[in-house]
Amino acid sequence: MAMHDGRKASTPSSQSLRESAAATTLDRNSLVDQVENFLFKQLVSGRLQQGERINEAELARSLGISRNPIREAVRKLEERGLLIAIPHKGNFVRHFELEDVNDIFTFRICIESAAIRAALPRMSDADLEAVAGIVDAMVAAAEAGDERGLVENDIAFHQRICELSGSRHIARAFGDIYAEVRMLITLVEHRFESLHAAAVDHWPVVEALKTRDPDKAIAAMVTHIEDPWQRIVKAYEKKSPAKTT
């Protein structure tokens, strides 16, 4: 006869099962986010070129993961308009027509103008100094020849103004549109005329913000945005890339 010591066999509780399932979901979501971030950086850095096919099998091998999180990350980038799916062919880096360039920059002006109008009444002196501090960081990066640091602080500058608007929709729209702007800059092989010029070009916006006049601040931001817009259009027209089939 079998002997029993009176103790019950340990079985997982309903709560522990729920916690385990939640942890698995979180880990999976985290992996998808990591893959999305990896692909996003590949896109804005130009490592993934316009019209290039996303090879999920190769990505899975190089990253040492299954294809499922890659598929989900690709789908999220499609939703953001950075990748496109072509039936029976696969997923490709989005191709930008000149019409897209103008549409994107027009929308960017709308977003950042709305951000300034909403943010300026909410900005404290400390907020303005913090925004100016980001430009200081840009200048420091330029003097160090750190283009990556310059670009990251450039994004942070515009993002912070959008965040100070207090609108999640404005902040989210900025994130999506700025990703496209960065892709355009890379895809046409546009580079700054000088890192220092790219950094100090933000000072007029800061000075206009400090006046607390939304019209002046918006005008300064529009001028700031229109300059790279015009240069990208010229570079894009010169390059005149072929359409993706």
Q: Where in the chain is the domain with CATH 1.10.10.10?
A: 15-93
Q: What are phi and psi of 240, to 5 degrees?
A: 45, 65
Confidence of residue 48 (pLDDT cuts 50, 70, 90): confident
Helix axes 14-45, 56-63, angle to 10 degrees: 110
Question: According to the model, what pLDDT value does residue 7 have?
Answer: 46
Taking alpha carbons only, the member of 230, 226, 237 closest to residue 108 is 226
Q: What is the mean pLDDT of residues 108-120?
A: 97
Determine contact, residues 76/36, Cβ cutoff 8 Å. yes
Strands (E), 72-114: 83-86, 90-93
With H, G, I as helix, E, B as strand and everything else as coil, classify residue 85: strand
d(CA 17, CA 204): 57
Q: What is the mean pLDDT of residues 93-117?
A: 94
Question: According to the model, what pLDDT value does residue 80 have?
Answer: 85
CA angle, 106 then 108 then 113, to 5°:
100
Question: According to the model, what pLDDT value does residue 1 have?
Answer: 43
Determine contact, residues 196/143, Cβ cutoff 8 Å. yes
Question: According to the model, what pLDDT value does residue 187 have?
Answer: 63
CATH of 15-93, one of 3.30.360.10, 2.120.10.90, 3.40.50.2300, 1.10.10.10: 1.10.10.10
Burial of 80 by CB count in 10 Å (0-12 exposed, 13-18 middle, 19+ buried)?
A: middle
Confidence of residue 243 (pLDDT cuts 50, 70, 90): very low
Q: Where in the chain is the domain with CATH 1.20.120.530?
A: 98-239
Question: According to the model, what pLDDT value does residue 189 have?
Answer: 56
Which CATH number does 98-239 carry? 1.20.120.530
Q: Which residues have C-beta within 8 Å of that of residue 138, sequence separation ≥ 6?
A: 149, 150, 153, 154, 157, 198, 199, 202
Question: According to the model, what pLDDT value does residue 118 have?
Answer: 98
Biggest CA pair distance of the chain:
91
Higher-confidence residue of 224 and 45: namely 224
Question: According to the model, what pLDDT value does residue 10 have?
Answer: 44
Determine contact, residues 94/83, Cβ cutoff 8 Å. yes
Q: What is the mean pLDDT of residues 85-104?
A: 92
Q: What is the mean pLDDT of residues 188-199?
A: 77
